A and B are shown apart, each in its own frame.
Chain A
Amino acid sequence: MSELYDLLIIGAGPGGLSAGIYGSRAKLKTAILDKNAEPGGQATTTEELENYPGFFNGSTGPGIMKKFAEHAKTFGTEFLRGTVDEVDFSGPVKKVHTQQGDTYESKVVILSPGANPRKINVKGEAELRGKGVSYCATCDADFFVDLDVVVVGNGDAAIEEAMYLTKFAATVTVIVIHEKGNLDCNKASAEKAMKNPKLKWVWNSTVEEIAGDELVEKVVLKNIDTGELSDLETNGVFVFIGTVPHTDFLKGKVDLDDRGYIITNDMMETNVPGVYGVGDARVKYLRQVVTAASDGAIASSAAEKYLSELETLQNDVLDVSKEKPVLLAFWAPQIQESIDSIAAVDKVVEGKNDQVGLVKLDTYRAKKTATQYKVDQIPTVVLFKDDKDVGRISGADNITPEAVEALLK
């Protein structure tokens, strides 16, 4: 059994690394668990990565991810190795178990499991993987110097990697499912690609089969308008047709959408308190390094608030309530009448010579606690005895010194 972490992050892609940076910088005990020894996730399989702000002029996916990881390490993030096979989010302390047999415990878990390349699911694809079929241009481009390759797909990754491959291959043919001239990628890349003389295009088409004896020799293309099949000789097939989230181990543990993506709100909270979801595995509009990094920052900062609320509630309210009554006062600096009410409560408590505890919470900053105790009016004063809330007064008009005295009796 491990020591107890504040923040355990599953997955060391840009979302997880950014969460690590924010978490450890906030002095939370933070660790990132990844199946790989090299952090970076999918971004390390992309050579051309020139849309992360501040990084351009030949910056690469592996290069930027190295910087992310160094940054997290500098602030004290711990890096752990293991493939997660089981999670238990049922208690206040979350448990994460790995195939290697380790169990980690943490108060907060940030899920950053990422996604895997989507397969075309055609004949020959699995058999010829590593023999001409590839999902990673950085890994395999070198093999195709002066050879012919096809790229399947037309999103950002497909078009940018196709351009990268033109530096190696003799010809790069992009197979596009859309009508001539229509690409799903960003306009800047589309314009650049259309002008690249080494790129060839096959429109309106999908790959029906990849064939070859031991190495890729050809693809069978299907024109989706006419249904006509044709052969195209090639040495390599690079597939960039999106991703599938790596969330099988989360089924039944947090809410996923019907395609398996983690459902979160704006604060990256899943349906389970203390469990957050970030990066490509989350339901979102744009899956990029910059949005994953943003998710990570949000999750860690939300987690920090969550932890400090938990701590206040446990240490200053629940624990103390076993010794003496504690009043938990919900107020808000924006609401003048709540300030006045709390001052009145303060006075009553002062007169009790330390026989009664008082904790004041800014309601808007302590939404979790407010929700947990169903506080729907500001100000509200809740009385705790022996670990439990046993009474309350709500509304400025009702919180009078007399009423507080009565509540305490």
Chain B
Amino acid sequence: MMEHLTKENFDEKVLNSKGVVMVDFFSPKCVPCMALMPDVEKLADEKSDVATFFAFDTTGNMRMAMKQKVMGIPAYLFYKDGEKVASLDKDILEEKGMAAVTDKLEELTV
């Protein structure tokens, strides 16, 4: 299970963290986001040793999302030691599925 972030603990859990963190920006209303959810949940379990995975529901939290420069979902953002280092958008996620995420994680953890 991925932990769901709130706007209150986003900074603490993500921006003040060590190591690699991935945040899945989603909304229950976004069908493409929900379509990816089971896969990313599974991946989060398998890769829990290389990165910490969070989900962030953007509903009612737009300002926080926009602060992270997210204005469209699904968007997966990657942070290293609290700093945003990469992101994946709908096109690549739908085309490559979770392979896009594992590729990115490999790139970030070498």
Q: Quick check: which of A88-96, A129-137, A219-227, A266-274 contacts chain B, the rest being far away?
A: A129-137
Query: Known interface pairs A215-B71, A216-B71. Does A138 touch B94 (Cβ–Cβ under 8 Å)?
Result: no
- Given contact pairs A38-B31, A143-B58, enumerate 19 new A-B contacts (beta carbons under 8 Å): A36-B35, A37-B37, A44-B31, A45-B32, A100-B97, A129-B90, A130-B72, A130-B75, A130-B87, A134-B71, A134-B72, A136-B72, A138-B30, A139-B29, A139-B72, A139-B74, A142-B27, A143-B72, A215-B71
Is B62 in contact with chain A by the CB < 8 A criterion? Answer: yes
In the complex, A65 Cα to B31 Cα: how many Å? Answer: 11
Is B3 in contact with chain A by the CB < 8 A criterion? Answer: no
Chain A residues lying within 8 Å of B27, measured Cβ to Cβ, are 139, 142
Is B23 in contact with chain A by the CB < 8 A criterion? Answer: no
Is A35 in contact with chain B by the CB < 8 A criterion? Answer: yes
Query: Known interface pairs A36-B94, A130-B89, A130-B90. Does A138 touch B71 (Cβ–Cβ under 8 Å)?
Result: no
In the complex, A36 Cα to B40 Cα: how many Å? Answer: 12
Interface residues of A in 95-143 (CB under 8 A from B): 99-100, 129-134, 136, 138-140, 142-143
In the complex, A278 Cα to B65 Cα: how many Å? Answer: 39
In the complex, A131 Cα to B89 Cα: how many Å? Answer: 10
Is A40 in contact with chain B by the CB < 8 A criterion? Answer: yes
Q: Judging by beta carbons under 8 Å apart, are B66 and A44 in contact?
A: no
Closest approach, in angstroms, between the C-beta of B20 and any C-beta of chain A?
20
Closest approach, in angstroms, between the C-beta of A65 and any C-beta of chain B?
8
Chain B residues lying within 8 Å of A138, measured Cβ to Cβ, are 29-31
A62 interface neighbour in B31, B66, B71, B74, Cβ under 8 Å: B31
Is B59 in contact with chain A by the CB < 8 A criterion? Answer: yes
In the complex, A399 Cα to B30 Cα: how many Å? Answer: 67
Q: Judging by beta carbons under 8 Å apart, are A44 and B32 in contact?
A: yes
Tally chain A residues at the interface, Cβ within 8 Å. Answer: 31
Chain A residues lying within 8 Å of B94, measured Cβ to Cβ, are 35-36
Is A394 in contact with chain B by the CB < 8 A criterion? Answer: no
Chain A residues lying within 8 Å of B51, measured Cβ to Cβ, are none
Is B1 in contact with chain A by the CB < 8 A criterion? Answer: no
Chain A 25-55 against B: per-residue CB contact (8 Å), 1 yes, 0 no? 0000000000111101000110000000000
Is B34 in contact with chain A by the CB < 8 A criterion? Answer: yes
Is A145 in contact with chain B by the CB < 8 A criterion? Answer: yes
Query: Known interface pairs A38-B31, A139-B30, A142-B27. Does A130 touch B39 (Cβ–Cβ under 8 Å)?
Result: no
Q: Provide 29 A-B residue pairs closer than 8 Å at the C-beta atoms, listed in order of the A residue.
A: A36-B35, A37-B34, A37-B36, A37-B39, A38-B34, A45-B32, A62-B29, A65-B31, A83-B95, A99-B97, A129-B72, A129-B89, A130-B70, A131-B70, A131-B71, A134-B71, A138-B30, A139-B29, A140-B71, A142-B29, A142-B59, A143-B58, A143-B62, A143-B72, A144-B71, A145-B62, A214-B69, A215-B66, A215-B71
Is B21 in contact with chain A by the CB < 8 A criterion? Answer: no
In the complex, A66 Cα to B69 Cα: how many Å? Answer: 31
Chain B 65-91 against A: per-residue CB contact (8 Å), 1 yes, 0 no? 110011111110000000000010111
Q: Judging by beta carbons under 8 Å apart, are A36 and B71 in contact?
A: no
Chain A residues lying within 8 Å of B91, measured Cβ to Cβ, are 129
Chain A residues lying within 8 Å of B22, measured Cβ to Cβ, are none
Is B38 in contact with chain A by the CB < 8 A criterion? Answer: yes
Which B-chain residue is minimally distant from A146 (CB atoms)? B62
Is B33 in contact with chain A by the CB < 8 A criterion? Answer: yes
Q: Judging by beta carbons under 8 Å apart, are A133 and B72 in contact?
A: yes
Chain B residues lying within 8 Å of A153, measured Cβ to Cβ, are none
Considering the complex of A and B, which 5 residue pairs feature the smallest CB-CB distances, nearest first?
A: A130-B72, A44-B31, A38-B35, A36-B35, A139-B30
Query: Known interface pairs A139-B27, A142-B59. Does A130 touch B71 (Cβ–Cβ under 8 Å)?
Result: yes
A140 interface neighbour in B38, B69, B73, Cβ under 8 Å: B73
Chain A 245-269 against B: per-residue CB contact (8 Å), 1 yes, 0 no? 0000000000000000000000000
Chain B residues lying within 8 Å of A36, measured Cβ to Cβ, are 32, 35-36, 94
Is A379 in contact with chain B by the CB < 8 A criterion? Answer: no
Is A236 in contact with chain B by the CB < 8 A criterion? Answer: yes
Chain A residues lying within 8 Å of B74, measured Cβ to Cβ, are 139
